[in-house]
Structure formats: C-alpha cells, structure tokens
C-alpha cells in the first residue's frame, strides 16, 4: 500500500530530524544492533528508548522511595527487562551484574548526587569492555541563566547538589582508564 510506504519514509525522516541528542549520539556508536542498556535515573524514559531503539534490552535504575518527590512511571516497570530500585547515594549496586551492559546512561543524574564520583566509579564497573557511558548534566553556564519555572537556572532545582565542569569530569573519567570520545555543551 502506498500510504504505509510513505508513512515508513516519513517515520525514518522524523526520527533523523527530531531525535534527541542522546539518541543521536548512541545511534552513531551502536547502530541498529541489539544492545543492553542500563538507564540510571530512568524516571519516565523507558518508552522513548524503546521507540528509538526497539532492539535494546532495557534495564532501569531509579529510586522510588517514600521520600522521593520524582516518582517513576510504575506502569513501565513490567515492560523493562529488569528494574533496580536503588538509592544511588548508598553505593549498593551488588544486584547489578558487572561487565554486563553495552551502554550506561546517566541523564541529568550526577548533579543530584553528593557523591557523584563514587557513584560513577561503581556504576562504570557494570559496563562491558568497549561499552559506552553517556553522562548528561547542566553545564556551569546554567548558573548564569535566568530563573524560571522548571530548571533553566541550575539553582531552580533544589535537589541539585553540585555543578560539574566538563573538563574536570572528562579528566576524572580518563583517570579511571576510559576514553572520553565526545564532550559537548
């Protein structure tokens, strides 16, 4: 049918044009092959990952404790391969297998941690050799942005603990023995 063919072409074009940055970066590195992903601080991201990468084996990690004011979408948990309910600050990652994931995503997580470097040291152990760790966080420039509803300015979010500098974080990851292949802001 002609309309379904047009729709498929439009969908491919849409994915190329509208795809968020983190998905573009990963698509360049992983391509279309199946992979295992650990989404640290997954929140409500599961449906987006499966949309952009239907062949991924998705594992979510977040903390849905009683005092957490950013709950995850609990209806997504059964759709995940596995969900880890862990407070990152405890550094208790023994239930997560080492050298297991092709990709680990930490999207806007590290700025909420008081011990982010220790968390990175522990979570990176879960990455396979030659795997990819993607860390996204507000840049230092965000402290100079105007305040508004939401989190345009770093200090708009009261749960933010630390402002990170790209170069310092890149150096830290390099000292752990990993190559930083992209850093952008």
Average pLDDT by consecutive 10-residue portion of the chain (185 residues)? 61 64 85 93 79 90 68 74 92 97 92 92 96 86 72 73 85 90 67
Distance CA 134, CA 19 (A): 16
Give the right CATH number for 20-175 from 3.40.50.880, 3.40.50.150, 3.40.50.720, 3.30.1330.10: 3.40.50.150
pTM over 0.75: yes
Query: In what helix (H) or strand (E) does residue 30 lie, and over which residues does it extend?
Result: helix 21-30
In angstroms, the CA 105 to CA 21 distance is 13
What residue spans define the domains of the chain? 20-175
Short-list 140, 107, 130, 136, CA closest to 30:
130
Would you state the pLDDT for residue 7? 61
Q: What is the pLDDT of residues 61-86, one digit of tens each?
A: 998 754 555 566 677 777 889 999 99
Distance CA 160, CA 151 (A): 10
């Amino acid at each position: 049918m002609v309309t379904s063919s047009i729709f498929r072409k439009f969908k491919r074009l849409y994915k190329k044009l509208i795809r968020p940055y983190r998905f573009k970066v990963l698509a360049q590195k992983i391509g279309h092959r199946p992979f295992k992903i650990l989404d640290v601080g997954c929140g409500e991201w599961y449906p987006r990952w499966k949309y952009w990468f239907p062949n991924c084996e998705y594992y979510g990690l977040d903390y849905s404790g009683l005092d957490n004011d950013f709950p995850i979408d609990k209806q997504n948990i059964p759709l995940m391969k596995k969900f880890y309910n862990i407070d990152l600050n405890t550094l208790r990652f023994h239930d997560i297998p080492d050298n297991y994931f092709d990709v680990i995503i930490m999207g806007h997580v590290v700025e909420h941690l008081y011990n982010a470097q220790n968390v990175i040291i522990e979570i990176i152990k879960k990455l396979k050799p030659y795997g990819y760790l993607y860390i996204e966080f507000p840049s230092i420039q965000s402290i100079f942005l105007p305040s508004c509803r939401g989190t345009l300015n770093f200090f708009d979010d009261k749960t933010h603990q630390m402002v990170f500098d790209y170069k310092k974080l890149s150096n830290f990851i390099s000292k752990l023995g990993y190559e930083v292949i992209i850093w952008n802001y």
